[in-house]
Amino acid sequence: MRIAQIAPLTEAIPPTLYGGTERVVSWLTEELVAQDHEVTLFASGDSVTSANLEAVWPRALRLDGTVRDANALHMTMLEQVFRRAHEFDLLHFHLDYYPFSLFQRQSTPFVTTLHGRLDLPEHQPTFATFDEPHVVSISDA
């Protein structure tokens, strides 16, 4: 399969410091490559992977003092993935609910792993509005 893994730009993959989400993305990406899938990792340029790396920004945003608006770069990455979605059999996002609106309007299947809290009341309207995306959580808790 041709799989795109889309990681947060906050930390490198794998993280050099803190980064639970980034560790999960790294482990999953490396295992998919080991199982002979063609994997492209959209992440920061200082990431280290055996997959094809698409560097959206040269280094992890948390370590880059020049970046003041991380959302702008994540939006850029989402657009880059959207424009290339036809190249993949599956898109796997690790960006919480950010891909829901744009990616449910295109034909490539996608899944989103929710790495954060799911119990916040402000999330309920989002999950009610976007009830079609396939989601996975990192825990049943």
Q: What is the CATH number for 92? A: 3.40.50.11930
| Beta strands, E only, 1-141 | 2-6, 38-44, 52-57, 90-93, 110-114, 134-137
pLDDT of residue 113: 92
Structural domain total, the chain: 1
Whole-prediction pTM value? Answer: 0.93
Mean pLDDT of 33-52: 98
Residue numbers of the domain that contains 54: 2-137
pLDDT confidence bin for 130, thresholds 50/70/90: confident
Q: Which of 111, 75, 77 is nearest to 3 (CA)?
A: 111
Residues pairing with 40 in the sheet: 4, 52
Tens of pLDDT, residues 69-116: 999 999 999 999 999 999 999 999 999 889 999 999 999 999 999 888
pLDDT of residue 141: 60
Give me the chain's average pLDDT, please: 93
Residues pairing with 38 in the sheet: 2
Contact yes or no for 92/110 (Cβ under 8 A): yes
